Amino acid sequence: MVTDEPREELGAIAASLRAYLEWQEEAGTSGFPRRRAPAGSTASAAGVATARSTRASPATEITATAPTNESASPPTGGTTTYAANAPVSHASHATMSASADASPSTTNAAAIRLPEIAAQVASCTRCSLSTSRTKTVFARGSAAAALCFVGEAPGADEDAQGLPFVGRAGQLLDRMIAAMGLSPERDVYICNVIKCRPPDNRRPEPDEIATCIPYLHEQLAQIRPRVIVGLGNTAVAALLDTKIGITKLRGQWKLYRGQTLLMPTYHPSYLLRPSPQQAEAKRQAWQDLQLVMKELGLTAPKGSD
């Protein structure tokens, strides 16, 4: 299709891609086949983070201080592999990149809307979890981030501090993020499906997830990350509306709501749990993060393999 205006041509491409994605969804296709990036095509983490952060105003930063241990080793990993070998069209790559770069007006709107959503969460009494919580837990990190981590629900430390992933599992997650060459405060956005702690850290009930997940959907609509990492069974099941277990889903690119790349992987709390599978699970989780890094054009710091 030939048009006189570049904007019209871009609109036509976007419409065509939307129709293609809708067809994929109707056909039951939930993954995006990937292909290896050409040699020399990766960029440094700092370069990607700088490019991404130029579209954010200081008001979009959600500041938080979480305990970290920068000297600890990340999960040891092996060779990066891809879920499928079929190539992705150039139109798909172009549209995905364009969707990740929000305009200043979009960023400003998110800076206004996200605190409004957080306030709604803080006053929410839609389910019984509101009666036992100490604090609601909304998010930490940067609202301008290209990468978003989504977990299950707050634990005791998160309930006390009002921030996600600040306990032992959160410390491990921060080390994993640092191993990717990223800052947990500046380069990623971290949140949960459930905003209140379930009693005794039990798994959230289906009705609790159904009640709370609209907040997450709106969060992600405002953040517009390029890639989401789903942490553990509950988060991935809620994001993808699937009953397939994490061991079968991890390491394979999926699509959140038919448009955002999502990488399922193990929850950090599972990686901390002593078991015969612990070492292998850590290796697999690092493989999953390496796929995310390749998608974002990141190069891991030396010594993180």
Amino acid identity for residue 157 in this structure: D
Which residues touch 165 (CB under 8 Å, ≥6 apart)? 66, 140, 149, 151, 158, 173, 174, 190, 268
- Nearest-angstrom CA–CA distance, 232 and 188: 18
Query: Can you give the pLDDT of all 305 residues of the chain as single tens digits?
Result: 444 455 555 555 555 555 444 444 443 434 443 433 444 433 434 434 433 433 333 333 333 333 333 333 344 333 222 222 222 222 233 223 333 455 566 678 888 999 999 999 999 999 999 999 999 999 999 999 999 999 999 999 999 999 999 999 999 999 999 999 999 999 999 999 999 999 999 999 999 999 999 999 999 999 999 999 999 999 999 999 999 999 999 999 999 999 999 999 999 999 999 999 999 999 999 999 999 999 999 987 876 66
Which residues touch 15 (CB under 8 Å, ≥6 apart)? none
User: Long-range CB contacts (< 8 A, 24+ apart) of 38-41?
Assistant: 41/297
Query: Where along the chain do its domains lie?
Result: 31-296
CATH architecture type of domain 31-296 = 3-Layer(aba) Sandwich (3.40)
Distance of CA 169 to CAs 62, 65, 150, 183, Å?
A: 20, 15, 13, 17
